[in-house]
Structure formats: structure tokens, C-alpha cells
Amino acid sequence: MKNSEIAHAFEEMADLLELRGENPFRVRAYRQAARVIADLPESVEEILQDADRDLTQIAGIGETIAEKCRTLVETGTLPQLEKLRRETPPVLRQMTRIPGVGVKKALVLQQQLDIQSLEDLRRACQEHRVRQLKGFGAKTEAEILRGLEIAQAAQQRLRIDQAEELVARLREHMAACREIQTLEFAGSYRRGKETVGDIDMLVVSDHGAAVMDRLAQFPGLVVVTARGDTKMSCRVDDHFQVDLRVVAAESFGAALQYFTGSKEHNVQVRGRARKMGLTINEYGVYRLGENQQRIAGATEEEVYTALELGWIPPELREGRKELQWYEDVDHLPPLIEDGDLVADLHMHTSATDGTETIEAMAEAARKLGRRYIAITDHSQRVSMAHGLDAERLLAQWEQIDALNNKLGNRITVLKGIECDILESGQLDLADDVLAQADWVIASVHYGQKQSREKITQRIVGALENPHVDAIAHPTGRLLGSRPPYEVDIEAVFVAAAENKKILELNANPRRLDLSEEHLMRAAAMGIPICINSDAHSIEGMHVLRYGIIQARRAGLLRDQVVNTWKLATLRRWLQR
């Protein structure tokens, strides 16, 4: 069992215990264990198998948690968790996923209004029964209605990292089926969309029944909804849909292209085929005529070659201009790739709300191939994260100077800060302090419900400040839990372009902020993009790959991303 699965189980335990009103210290212990295990650089399963290791030696894991880890690893389930699931009305957990509805409010709504489903809650809001409850009111009622849309959309789709975890589990499970010759995943997951509505699995095999029998044994399977000779559909985990298709080897490339999509891309592909006297479907590419001669289908490359196109990266297959671009593939610069990033310019340490020291973060980044990083702890306004005031920040920068002397040319650490843009529009630290930084990113954490005009003024004002280099997570969205704040993003782009500033693509899969549409617009205006992890731990640095996927979907090239640049190049650009 993977660490992420164990962490998810403990997080769910904490949620269910809190909903039952259990001891808050017990709830906190499970949440802490979930965070610790999610951030572990090594596998819990491997630690348990090592006779010389003891999980309880890891801070945050006591004997009870360690024993439950062993149970999960050995059996795949946790009896206490299963019991809590049976005893807790599902609607309670569903309501806690609504922005602004915590455990206490969910309990009041469920008990006093007899809410049994999210539709019951919607109806109660529309009938103005919620505002009549003590501690709620008309404003809360309106916020719940807005939040319901987010919660219900989140129920139907997985974030890309969640989909990736499910795909890994499916791939590992299906690997035991010897009858499988080839297995790939298609659909919106393969195209790298930030959220995924279902999982499409393609298999080459001469024994379709055996392949389907193996999928039917998947530990997370809830129900098989359809099964035929070559196709099987089922629901797994929280009733998420997985579709399996068994195809012949000679058709695998055509099927992979077809089921990867998108619908809009495939419409354009079929239109191009018709103009060339061809027809294309999931079985292959055929020449029109009496005999419909088959000319391609075994690989995607030969499918696109038959259409006189280069192979189109899945991330670009959205029916935009990709067919035009790949007609002249020899002169098309490559999209940004994983190995192109040499820096990470947004991360936090134990000085604020991170878990590691500056040196530990630097060493971990070096092992990941980074040549320079920026330490950007929070400024003082973020008091809940123990944000840095001027005195503590300057002392941290002295530590970084000393560390750089120690590190030599192994990696360079830039003196940075994530400086809050205050509700008033002022920056959280004085200009004379910011002037001493190597790298300043400004961000909005508070006052996110201000008017569109006010939030826009705040961000534009920060971009006009000569000491600010970039804006972090520019729209503030959290996928599936918080919509973007009201901001005139076009005005932000104009200010960034005019002031020669950088905009961040926050690679955390909960954010992926900017969106691909915003990235395309920013790139068209010549605004440099910085793909950052916003890491609060060593494990958090690994999210950069999600930012790369998002950037590829927007068609970004290597040179359009500043943390592919050499440090000297970035310094020259900033000094302008």
C-alpha cells in the first residue's frame, strides 16, 4: 500500500471522528499522522518490512498509528475505518466538502433540517430554511448555495494527482494478468487535464475475458455496470467510473488516438482524413473506396503519419490549432519538458509553515537536479504560519548568505520572500527591506472576498512596485474547494507586461493557478511564466511535474518559462 493511500485513510478517520464529536486530540493525532506519512520520502511498507526499523521513531507516529499502518499494509483495510463509514451518514462528509461548511455547521444542518442529501440541502437553501437556524443567516445561505456547485463538481471529477494515484493502483493490479500484452491509459487523464471525469484503460490481449476477470478483482471495485466481449465498465472507490477496452494489436494505435480524444480534436482529425480520401476510426486508418484498404493503426505515430502530420503530444489535443502546428513539425520548437526546469522559486521552510530547514530544502532540490532555488517564506501578515517580520527575515537572509558559502557551486539559494499584498493594497514589508531581496513574489491571502475592482487594484499595484518580481497563484483558486477570487485578469496581464514582471504557474495540483487558458493569454502577451512547487516539505517539491503538464497544455515552450533559464540570465532579466 502506498503512503498516499495510508495518509488518505488516516485523513478520512480524522474527518469521521470529528463528525462524531470525538476527542479533538485524537482527531488531531490522525491528521498529523496523515501529513507525516504523506511527506515521508520512503515507503511505510518498506519500513515495516525492515526488522531494524520502527515506525514509532518517526515524529508524529505513535504505537497506535504504527499498528494501524501495519494493518493497512497487511490487509488493505482498517476495521475501525470501515465501522465509522457504516455509522456516519454520507451526507455529513459531503457537506464538509462545501466551502464554508465545517463539521459543526454540517452537524447542525443534518440534525435540525434532516438533511439526507446535497439536494435536500440545496432545497433548504432555496426555501430559506437555512437562514432561520441560529448562527447562519442569509449570507451564509447564499454562500452554501454557491459552494454546493463546487462540491458537486468535485464529487464527479478527480484532480490530476488523484487520478494519477488511481491509475497507479490500477496499473499495479493489472500487471499480475499475464494475458495482457500492452496496457495504456487514455482520455482526459492522458491529455493531462487538471481534473478527470473517468478513466479509460486500453489493453492489447487475445484473452479479453481473463483481463476483465482481473479488473473485477480490483480492491476498490464497487460494481460492474457493463461487460461485453471487448468492453467493461465499472465503478471504483467513491463510484468513479473506469472503462476497459480490449483491442487487437494492429488497432492499438488507432484506439489510443481515438480514446485519448478530445472530441474536438478527433472531429478535426476525421475532417482532415476525409479531405485526403481517407477514413479513420478506433480500428485504423483506411483508404476510401470499395475495399477500404487499411493503411495504419498499430501505433499513434503511423496514424498521424498517414494524415501527413507529426505525432501530436496528447496535452495539445483539444481541437485548437494543433493540426496546423504539426503540419510543419520540423520547424516547430518542442514543448517544455520535465527535465527543462533548473530552478524552483517558491518554497517554505520551518521558519514559517514548512517542515524542513533551508539547508535540507536546498539539498533535496539539488538531488532533484535544481541548480538554484529561492526560499520564500511567508511575510508577517500570515500570522497563522508564523510569518516573518523584517527582523526575522533579514536574519534568515544572513543564514542564506552563510549557507551559500558552504554550498559552493553545488546549488545557489536566493534570498526571497512571499510578501502579502495587504487588504489596503500596501505590501506587507517596507520597500527598504524588499530592496535587499534577490527574489520577491507577492500574493493575496486575505481579503479574497473584496470587490473585483479592489482585488485588481491590489495586484496591479504590487506589479507596479519596483521590488516585486512575480505574482504567486494569481487567481487564488483551489480546485474543487474554492473558486478564483473576483479579479480582472486581463488588467493583471497588461500590468505584468507593461512592468516586465513574471506570473507564477503554481504547480500544486490543488491549485494549478494559472489555468491553461490564462497561460495561453499570458504567453501571447510575452509575459514570462515561472513554474513553482510552493513546497512546504521535501515531498512537496515533486509536484512540479503537474505544472509542466499544465504548461504543455497551454503550448508553452522552454524559453517562455523563467526557471529553465540559467541563474545569470534570470539575474540580468530582473536587473532590467
Place of cell 493503411: 295
Q: How far is CA 305 from CA 185, 254, 323, 327, 333, in A?
A: 22, 12, 12, 10, 19
Q: What pLDDT, on a 0 to 100 scale, did the predictor assign at position 19?
A: 82
Beta bridge partners of 196: 158
Domain 252-331 is of which CATH architecture?
2-Layer Sandwich (3.30)
* Contact yes or no for 374/347 (Cβ under 8 A): yes
Number of continuous H segments (helices) and E segments (strands) in the chain: 24, 17
Interatomic CA distance for residues 27 and 65, integer angstroms? 12
Question: Which residues, including other chains, have CB under 8 Å from residue 575's CB and lie 6 or more apart?
Answer: none
* Contact yes or no for 186/259 (Cβ under 8 A): yes
Residue 440: CB atoms within 10 A of its CB come to 27
State the fold for domain 158-247: Beta Polymerase; domain 2 (3.30.460)
Pairing of strands 231-236, 240-247: antiparallel
Q: How far is CA 297 from CA 67, 249, 303, in A?
A: 52, 9, 6
Question: Using one digit for the tens of pLDDT, what is the confidence trace for 22-63?
Answer: 888 888 889 888 888 887 778 898 899 888 888 888 888 989
Strand segments, DSSP code E, in 32-188 are: 158-159, 182-185
Q: How far is CA 36 from CA 6, 31, 382, 537, in A?
A: 11, 9, 23, 10
Q: What pLDDT, on a 0 to 100 scale, did the predictor assign at position 151?
A: 67
Q: How far is CA 406 from CA 359, 374, 403, 409, 486, in A?
A: 10, 16, 5, 9, 45
Q: What pLDDT, on a 0 to 100 scale, did the predictor assign at position 414?
A: 98
Q: What pLDDT, on a 0 to 100 scale, did the predictor assign at position 15?
A: 84
Task: Spell out a b/e string for 278-313, using b for 16 or more CB atoms within 10 Å of the CB, else e.
Answer: bebebebbbeeeeeeeeebbbebebbbebbebbebb
Mean pLDDT of successive 10-residue stretches along the chain, which has 576 residues: 83 86 86 84 86 86 91 88 84 79 85 87 91 89 83 74 93 95 97 95 96 94 89 86 96 97 95 95 90 91 96 96 89 90 97 93 96 97 90 97 95 98 96 97 95 97 97 93 91 97 97 96 97 94 97 96 96 89
* Contact yes or no for 544/563 (Cβ under 8 A): no
Q: What pLDDT, on a 0 to 100 scale, did the predictor assign at position 360?
A: 95
Helix (H) or strand (E) holding 4: helix 3-19
Phi, psi of 32 (to 5 degrees): -65, -45
Interatomic CA distance for residues 432 and 177, integer angstroms? 64
CATH class, domain 338-575, is alpha beta
Question: Which residues, including other chains, have CB under 8 Å from residue 530's CB and lie 6 or more apart?
Answer: 345, 346, 470, 502, 503, 504, 505, 561, 562, 563
Question: Which residues, including other chains, have CB under 8 Å from residue 411's CB and lie 6 or more apart?
Answer: 362, 363, 365, 366, 370, 371, 372, 373
Orientation angle between helical segments 208-216 and 160-174, nearest 10 degrees: 120
The three cell numbers locating residue 264: 474536438
Q: 364: exposed, middle or buried (C-beta count within 10 Å: 0-12, 13-18, 19+)?
A: buried
Interatomic CA distance for residues 91 and 346, integer angstroms? 37
Strand segments, DSSP code E, in 186-277 are: 195-196, 199-204, 221-227, 231-236, 240-247
Q: What pLDDT, on a 0 to 100 scale, did the predictor assign at position 155?
A: 63
Sketch the domain layout of the chain as residue ranges: 3-156, 158-247, 252-331, 338-575
Q: What pLDDT, on a 0 to 100 scale, did the predictor assign at position 483?
A: 86
DSSP 3-state of 416: strand
Tell me the pTM: 0.80
Question: Using one digit for the tens of pLDDT, what is the confidence trace for 176-226?
Answer: 999 999 999 999 999 999 999 899 999 999 999 999 999 999 988 888 988
State the fold for domain 3-156: DNA polymerase; domain 1 (1.10.150)
Task: Spell out a b/e string for 160-172, using b for 16 or more CB atoms within 10 Å of the CB, else e.
Answer: bbbbbbbbebbee
Half-sphere exposure of 182 (CA within 13 A, CB side): 16
- Cα dihedral sign, 222-509-396-360: positive
Torsion of CA 348, 349, 352, 354, to 10 degrees: 80
